């Protein structure tokens, strides 16, 4: 366990190196947030919906703030496979899946927290109707934080499954891009899942992609009342178990067949 923790810590330190590039990223993300909110405000002005506008605004800010949690992948592994230095990793007395799981989790946590904190501060200073609103209640906040943690475990497991494909094909850009883009749409980043047709939502919210950010946000805004939170947490837990099991299986299988390049 200790070794995985240190893999986590090392990766976190590396992610912290890029503070300069981060500022530009934050400003860019804020502009995107403002554009989306302006769009939804105009749409709501024409035809108000049962879902309050303030919930949509909060949804957009939380999505933008934790954007980095969705799209952050580890480019090292691909390089290692291409250059053959994956051999060193195979020599470590560690489970490779766990090692990369810890790394990707560190990257996602650090990357998103560094951006989320300043962005959410900014969003909370904006006037009513533009800024983020407070959580529905204290239990709702705590539950949504718990759901966010579970969502993080879920997205890291997903990322590891994508990486398992990397081991097989030397050019994984196609598969990787497709999985990432599916994630953008189905996690509610392009359009809040709460604005999807109601009949679609019943299915989409069950998919793993909805567990990453959509589930915690719904708890935060109170769209899902505290009493029903157990259902979300249960779905998340089931997905984590399934995705990790699938990932471990794929990694073990591909690891046996891996062909070392270079030399």
Partner 1 sequence: MKTVRLYLRSMKMLMKCQLEYPFSFFLQTLAQLVMEGGEMMAVILIIDRFDRVNQWEAGDLFFFFGIMSVTFYLTECFGRGITGNFPYLIRTGQLDTILLRPRGVLTQVLCSAVDPRRITCIAVGTVSLIIGCNLARVQWTGLKVLAMAEAVLLGAVLILALFVIEAIFCIYSVKSVELVNALSYGGRSACEYPIDIYPRPLRILFTAIAPFALVLHVPAAYILGKPLYAWPEWTAFVCPLAGAVFFGLIYLAFQKAMRFYRSTGS
Residue ranges in contact with partner 1 by CB under 8 A: 20-21, 24-25, 27-28, 31-32, 34-36, 38-39, 41-44, 46-47, 49, 169, 171, 173-175, 177-178, 181-182, 184-185, 190-191, 195-197
Q: Residue 8 or residue 68: which is nearer to partner 1 going by CB? A: 68
Nearer to partner 1, 36 or 163 (CB): 36
Closer of 121 and 191 to partner 1 (Cβ): 191
Q: Considering the complex, state which of residue 60 and residue 102 has its C-beta at the smaller distance from partner 1.
A: 60
Least distance in angstroms from the C-beta of 35 to partner 1: 4
Shortest distance (Å) from residue 137 CB to partner 1: 28
Task: Name the minimum Å distance from CB 185 to partner 1.
Answer: 4
Minimum CB distance to partner 1, residue 105 (Å): 23
Considering the complex, state which of residue 44 and residue 122 has its C-beta at the smaller distance from partner 1: 44
Q: How far is the CB of 50 from partner 1 (least distance, A)?
A: 11
Residue 15 Cβ vs partner 1, minimum distance, rounded to whole Å:
15
Please, what's the b/e burial string for 184-206 (b: 16 or more CB within 10 A of its CB; e: otherwise)?
eebbbbeebbbebeeeeeeebbe
Nearer to partner 1, 201 or 255 (CB): 201
Length of the chain: 263
Q: Give the residue among 168, 156, 144, 7 at the shortest CA–CA distance from 72.
A: 156
Q: What is the distance between the alpha carbons of residues 180 and 156, in angstroms, rounded to a whole number?
A: 13
Can you tell me the distance from the alpha carbon of 144 to that of 220, in angstroms, rounded to the nearest whole number? Answer: 5
Q: Which of 27/260 has CB closer to partner 1?
A: 27
CB 244 → partner 1: shortest distance, Å? 25
């Amino acid at each position: 366990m200790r070794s995985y923790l240190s893999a986590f810590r090392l990766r976190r330190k590396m992610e912290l190196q890029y503070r300069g590039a981060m500022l530009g990223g934050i400003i860019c993300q804020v502009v995107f947030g403002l554009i989306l909110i302006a769009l939804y405000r105009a749409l709501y002005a024409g035809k108000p919906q049962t879902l309050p506008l303030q919930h949509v605004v909060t949804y957009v800010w939380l999505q933008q703030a934790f954007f980095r949690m969705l799209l952050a992948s580890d480019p090292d592994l691909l390089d290692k496979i291409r250059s053959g230095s994956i051999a060193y990793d195979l020599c470590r007395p560690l489970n490779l899946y766990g090692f990369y799981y810890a790394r990707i989790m560190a990257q996602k946590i650090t990357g998103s927290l560094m951006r989320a904190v300043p962005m959410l501060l900014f969003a909370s200073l904006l006037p009513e109707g533009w800024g983020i609103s407070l959580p529905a209640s204290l239990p709702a906040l705590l539950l949504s934080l718990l759901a966010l943690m579970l969502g993080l475990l879920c997205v890291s497991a997903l990322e590891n499954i994508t990486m398992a494909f990397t081991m097989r094909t030397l050019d994984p850009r196609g598969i990787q891009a497709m999985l990432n883009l599916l994630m953008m749409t189905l996690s509610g980043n392009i359009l809040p899942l709460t604005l999807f047709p109601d009949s679609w939502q019943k299915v989409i919210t069950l998919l793993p992609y909805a567990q990453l950010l959509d589930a915690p946000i719904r708890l935060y805004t109170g769209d899902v009342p505290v009493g029903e939170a157990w259902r979300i947490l249960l779905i998340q837990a089931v997905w984590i178990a399934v995705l990790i099991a699938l990932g471990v299986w794929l990694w073990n299988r591909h690891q046996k067949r891996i062909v070392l390049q270079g030399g």
